[in-house]
C-alpha cells in the first residue's frame, strides 16, 4: 500500500510541476485531496472534451448535443431511464460502518470460488481445465455431444485457460 501512495505522490508532484494541477485554495493553506486544473490541465481537459464531442456528437447524423443542468425534475430522470437502469444496490455493514456495492461483493465472491475451483483442478492428476462456454450457445446447440462440436466452439470462443487438453 505504501508503494501506491508513493506513486500517487510522485504523479501529483509531476502534475503540479508541469502545470496540470495545483492544490485548491493553495494560498490559504489548501484543501486536502482537492485539486484545481492549472494552465496545462485546463487545456488538456478542453482538448479531451472537444475530441469526445466531435467523435460522439458531430460525426453522427442522428445525435444532437445539448448542455443541460444536472439538477432536473425527477420525471426527466425517470423518462430517460436513469432511475430504472442506473442504480447500485448497497449493503451496509453495521460492524465496520462501511457501505459496499452488492455487485462488487458478488463479483469478489465469484472470483474466490473460481480460484478455489482452479486450485482444486490443478492439484488433481489427469484433470482438465474447466471450459467456459456461454450458456446461450450451449442452449442453442442443445448439448455438446461430439469432440468436433466442442472443438468448433473453442475455435470461436477461446476458453479462459490456454492450456486446455482434449
Whether residue 61 is found in the same domain as residue 9: yes
pLDDT of residue 1: 63
pLDDT of residue 151: 37
Helix (H, G, I), strand (E, B) or coil at 26: helix
Whether residue 118 is found in the same domain as residue 134: no
Whether residue 133 is found in the same domain as residue 113: no
Whether residue 144 is found in the same domain as residue 160: yes
Whether residue 80 is found in the same domain as residue 105: yes
Whether residue 55 is found in the same domain as residue 72: no
Give all strands (DSSP E) within the chain, no chain letters: 21-23, 35-37, 90-93, 98-101
How far is the CA of 1 from the CAs of 4, 10, 106, in angstroms? 5, 14, 24
Judged on CB neighbours under 10 Å (0-12, 13-18, 19+), 153 is: middle
- Are β-strands 98-101 and 90-93 bridged in parallel, bridged antiparallel, or unpaired? antiparallel
Residue where a domain terminates, one of 67, 97, 116 = 67
pTM of the model: 0.43
Grid cell digits, residue 133:
462456454
- Expressed as residue numbers, the domain containing 81 is 68-127
Grid cell digits, residue 110:
465469484
pLDDT of residue 117: 80
Mean pLDDT by groups of 10 residues along the chain of 166 residues:
85 92 86 88 95 93 86 84 77 87 86 83 62 43 42 41 44
Whether residue 85 is found in the same domain as residue 99: yes
How far is the CA of 60 from the CAs of 16, 47, 55, 56, in angstroms? 37, 19, 8, 7
Whether residue 60 is found in the same domain as residue 92: no
Whether residue 102 is found in the same domain as residue 41: no
Whether residue 60 is found in the same domain as residue 91: no
Counted domains in the chain: 3
pLDDT of residue 159: 43
Whether residue 103 is found in the same domain as residue 122: yes
Whether residue 63 is found in the same domain as residue 81: no
Amino acid at each position: 500500500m505504501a508503494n501506491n501512495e508513493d506513486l500517487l505522490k510522485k504523479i501529483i508532484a509531476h502534475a503540479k510541476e508541469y502545470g496540470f494541477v495545483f492544490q485548491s485554495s493553495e494560498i490559504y493553506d489548501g484543501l486536502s485531496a482537492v485539486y484545481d486544473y492549472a494552465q496545462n490541465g485546463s487545456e488538456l481537459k478542453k482538448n479531451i472534451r472537444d475530441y469526445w464531442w466531435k467523435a460522439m456528437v458531430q460525426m453522427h447524423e442522428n445525435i444532437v448535443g445539448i448542455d443541460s443542468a444536472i439538477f432536473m425534475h425527477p420525471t426527466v430522470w425517470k423518462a430517460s431511464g436513469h432511475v430504472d437502469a442506473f442504480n447500485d444496490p448497497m449493503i451496509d455493514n453495521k460492524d465496520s460502518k462501511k457501505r459496499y456495492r452488492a455487485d462488487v461483493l458478488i463479483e469478489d465472491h465469484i472470483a474466490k470460488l473460481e480460484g478455489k475451483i482452479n486450485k482444486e483442478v490443478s492439484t488433481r492428476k489427469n484433470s482438465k481445465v474447466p471450459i467456459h462456454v456461454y450458456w446461450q450457445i450451449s442452449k442453442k446447440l442443445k448439448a455438446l455431444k461430439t469432440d468436433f462440436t466442442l472443438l468448433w466452439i473453442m475455435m470461436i470462443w477461446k476458453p479462459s485457460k490456454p492450456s486446455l487438453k482434449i
